[in-house]
Amino acid sequence: MTSPHLPAQPAPDRSAPVPVPWAVVGGLAALALLWPLTGLTGTLGTGAPRALTIVGITAVVWIGVVGLGRVPRPVLTLTLTGVAYGLVAHAVALLVPVLGGFGGPGGGPLWTIVPALLFEAMWGALAGLAAAGVQRLRGSGR
């Protein structure tokens, strides 16, 4: 009896850049909706406790999903997630001024968008470094 030969699989091209997982970026950026949702429902209180809770939840989810999920290019992925998070937050503040959001009702002066996006990108990059560390720690066990 002869065995059928399967065609040889081409070796993966290691020189090609790994694409950014845009679905992950979009999904994690959607956490910006926690701010208006908690404002509408009254959960998590108001002021600094609410803001710190949302920041903490967001950071834990970002680092957990990217670090434990072995998402490629964690620093770039979460840096872009930070920028997308800021865009979502500003869009909500502009579209639904009653919800406030970042910069108060209406999102604040237009010039504040660039510094805010830079801050969100920096926050995402720091979370990406933490997620890369989680990936590195998990990789040692495999």
Question: How far is CA 18 from its chain centroid?
Answer: 18
Other Cβ atoms less than 10 A from the Cβ of 67: the count is: 22
pLDDT one-digit tens code per residue, 31-65: 999 988 888 888 887 888 888 999 999 999 999 99
pLDDT one-digit tens code per residue, 116-134: 999 999 999 999 999 999 9
Q: Which of 97, 101, 132 is nearest to 34 (CA)?
A: 101
Q: What is the pTM of this model?
A: 0.79
Residues recorded for the chain: 142
Q: Strand, helix or coil at 141?
A: coil
Amino acid 122 reads M
pLDDT one-digit tens code per residue, 64-101: 999 999 899 999 999 999 999 999 988 888 887 666 55
